[in-house]
Structure 1
Amino acid sequence: MAKLFYTAIASLDGYVADAEGNFDWSMPDPDVHAFANELERGIGTQLMGRKLYEVMKFWEPMYGRKDLPPFIEDYATIWHDAEKIVYSKTLREVDTKRTRIESSFDPVDVGRMKTEATADLSVGGAELAGQALKAGLVDEIHFLVSPVIVGGGKRALPHDVRLNLALLGQRVFPNGVAHLHYRVLNGE
């Protein structure tokens, strides 16, 4: 069975975007970006909400370009190669390859995907990840904690879920970003 990972870049106070919706403070430097690439490399299917898709489709025209820094070229290939499922009630069509739309998040369907997949899956976007966490589908969490406090905004984690976690690893980068890797214990 494949695993489902939730990876997020968050402020120290737990937000993926500030109160105005900005996340410019979270842009990874080359070292952090290369590390994040490694986290995504084995992912066969990326599950994401519409807002995250709108941000991430930036990577589509980057694929195949040779005039970019290596870590950017690398992520463009990772994005291109992954299957992408966008959960949206409003989006009618996509303009990226290997992408399909689902109108709603169905935990049973995602559980079936995990069972049938030959490669791991990731869930992105705080709201969608919150649904997956509530449904008990997330196996591991990777947080890249930025050295900033934004004081409010979009929470990285839902407020109404309690889960026990086991620390699997940690790393601190020279720019102050801390990576925290947890296994979700799901009733253990």
Structure 2
Amino acid sequence: MAQLIYSGIMSLDGYTADRDGNFAWSAPDEEVHAFINDLERDVGTYLFGRRMYQVMSVWETMDTSDEPAVIQDYARIWQGADKVVYSTSLDAAATPRTRLERQFLPDAVRNLKSSSDKDISIGGPTIAEHALKAGLVDECRLFITPVAVGGGLRFLPDGLESRLELVDVRRFEAGAVYLRYRCLAQQAE
């Protein structure tokens, strides 16, 4: 049975994007990116909402030939995984190995988890909110960047109550911190 993992880069004050939707401040340095790549190697399927999918789909066509090895590596990892995009506004998926779903159905995700032999990653706080509130997320992996943005799109949704167990911590040279939590119990407000 696969694990459903919610991971993301966030500000110290808990946001994945600021009030203007900007997330340039979250770009990982080479050390953090290499660590993320190693974590992502076990992912067989990515679950995305429309906006996160459109941001991430650049990895399908971006010319990485002049990019550092860590960038080339991530492009290969992303291209090698299946993707499920939840959207009511997209007509079709623009990348290979991608399935379009009109709504997030918790039972369908439970079935995917039970039938998958590789981990499943859920990307983006909007779609992750559905999985978190349905109690489907097995782990949260947070990369905290040493910046405060003062507001915006939160990593965790309002109204979520959850018990977590810290299972791993790592500090990076530039000040970012990785926290890995196992989800024990979740309950929405």
TM-score by length of structure 1 reads 0.96
The equivalent residue for 2:6 is: 6
- In the alignment, structure 1 segments of 5+ residues that lack a partner are none
Code of the residue aligned with 2:18 in structure 1: it is D
Residue 74 of structure 2 corresponds to which residue in structure 1?
75
**How far does residue 66 in structure 1 lie from its aligned partner after superposition?**
3.5
Deviation at 1:96, TM superposition (A): 0.9
Partner-residue secondary structure (3-state), 1:28: coil
- Residue 37 of structure 2 is matched in structure 1 by 37
Residue matched to 2:111 = 112
Distance 1:142 1:58 in 2: 23
What's the offset of the Cα at 1:186? Answer: 2.2
Partner of 2:91: 92
Aligned CA-pair RMSD: 1.1
| Distance in 2 separating the partners of 1:5 and 1:80 | 18
DSSP 3-state at the match of 1:158? coil
Structure with a larger share of its residues in strand: 2
- Residue number in structure 1 paired with 2:182: 183
Specify the code of the residue in structure 1 equivalent to 2:17: A
Distance 2:178 2:119 in 1: 20
1:12: Cα distance to partner?
0.5
Q: Any conservation in 2 of the 1:62–1:73 contact (CA below 8 Å)?
A: no
Give the share of equivalent positions with the same residue, in percent.
50
Report the equivalent of 2:143.
144
Residue 58 of structure 1 corresponds to 58
Q: How much has 1:93 moved relative to structure 2?
A: 1.1
Structure 2 unaligned spans of 5+:
none
Aligned length in residues: 186
CA–CA separation in structure 2 for the residues paired with 1:132 and 1:57: 22
Counterpart AA for 2:130: Q
Matched, 1:48 2:48: yes
